[in-house]
Amino acid sequence: MSEAALAGEKSTAAPERSLAKRLAIAVIAIVAATLIIKGFVADVYLVESGSMEPTIFGGKERGERVVVRYQTGPALERYDLVVIKRNGVPVPAVKRVVGLPGESIQIRSGDIYVNGRLLALEHSAAPWIDLFDSTRQGLMQAFQFESGSDAWDQAGNEWQIGSQSKASPVVEEGESWRLLYRRGLDDGYITPDGSEVVGSLPVGDGRIDVDLVLQSTVGELMLELGEAADVFQARLRFLGEECKASLWRASRLKDAGPSIEILELGSAQIPVGEKLQISFSNRDNLLLFKVSAADEMLLNLIARYDANQVPPGKTLVAGASIGPQVQLSGTNLNARLQRLRVRRDLHYVGVGEHGVVRPLSLGPDQLFVLGDNSIHSADGRVWGATPTSEVMGLPVAVVWPLEQARWLSGNEPE
């Protein structure tokens, strides 16, 4: 498929995706498209633009080929991927639906406001963009120890934290280690070969995902996300068979009064020796802290806040943060770290006029569409509303190059 020409990144296989899986995706999608193409139901297109990276990588010579199913199904939903063919424009384009018929849409500080409000839970359908993944990149290339580096030992693709033989019967006060993410959150992403594309704009909303195998029933783990003058903390305190969980908000402003606020408390039974999937996210003023094991939700804490704190008399750049944005710390924790990911929210640049300078009101048959690679995308900010009649179809899968084959639907849940 063609679009305004923007160079794409050369892509190679993601290590964790098996060749068999990629081959199956490609074969199924190509065969299906070939069998039904005579009925004008689907086709395969080359993506030449980089406006949807990292969702779809583009380039005239290196662009990905996607199967597009012509739109014949139910009404579109927010954050669906669509292929549009604008009147008077010779080539179609892939974009993401962010505004639905009848809504008022505006971009403010990188976020989407619908009818004047942030819709945090509804926006959970939006994808998270990887900035770091320890299964594809070196941990120490992205993180640095502020303290306690001797508590960590690399064991193949995993990291051993602490020693089971040194486990204390109680959790002692004081921090044994602290790990800081060097880069901070920006509008960059990871290419399929694991290379970093460093962004040029700060992003406020982020997420930490940790896959951890607990090896003792004592210890403490804390995940931190910073935005503006706030730092949000998700804490797990292991005390025998029970785990105490909490969400905190702290201020990095001087003379701000009480600097620490407990937002939510909870508890759970956390198994030892099983992989725990821990996630902590801050998106659209909504904090989510979840722990699961073997596809079973063990803990789910939710907290909202009205707005971020900012230094008095100063204006921060949209998405900027005072101090580190991503940190992990632990006390007497004995565990195996199997995977660590840092991700960021979609971040939309306030360029153009439509839905930027003022809200854009959509008619009963109009959409507002944007590109994921916002700084390099020509989209609804430039031309305004998109008639639903200009939607050709929905991208279903990337089928070429083979090592990059993947489905394009089904975002990971919050």
pTM: 0.87
258: three-class secondary structure by DSSP: coil
Of 317 and 344, the one with more pLDDT: 344
**CATH topology of 19-124+349-407 equal to that of 129-344?**
no
pLDDT for the residue numbered 125: 81
pLDDT for the residue numbered 26: 61
Beta strands in 23-155 (DSSP E): 42-46, 65-70, 81-84, 93-99, 104-108, 111-114, 129-133, 143-147, 152-155
Q: pLDDT band for position 15 (50/70/90)?
A: very low
Terminal alpha carbon distance of the chain: 31
Residues assigned a catalytic role: 51, 95
The CATH code belonging to domain 129-344 is: 2.60.120.560
Span 76-111, pLDDT tens digits: 999 999 999 999 888 889 999 999 999 999 999 999
Q: What percent of the chain has pLDDT over 90?
A: 62
Of 20 and 336, the one with more pLDDT: 336
Q: How far is CA 294 from CA 78, 274, 291, in A?
A: 30, 8, 11
Span 237-266, pLDDT tens digits: 998 878 999 999 999 887 765 578 999 999
Tell me which of 8-22, 71-85, 285-299, 341-355 is least confident: 8-22
Q: Which residue has the tokens 């299964």?
A: 135
Span 190-200, pLDDT tens digits: 998 888 999 99
Q: What mean pLDDT comes out for the span 218-245? A: 94
- Model confidence at 314: pLDDT above 90: no
Q: pLDDT band for position 411 (50/70/90)?
A: low
Q: Among 200, 245, 209, 208, which Cα is nearest to 326's?
A: 208
228: three-class secondary structure by DSSP: strand
Q: Where are the domains of the chain?
A: 19-124+349-407, 129-344
Of 4 and 197, the one with more pLDDT: 197
Q: What mean pLDDT comes out for the span 312-340? A: 91
Cα separation, 120 vs 116, in Å, equals: 13
- Model confidence at 225: pLDDT above 50: yes
pLDDT for the residue numbered 186: 96
Q: Does domain 19-124+349-407 have CATH number 2.10.109.10?
A: yes
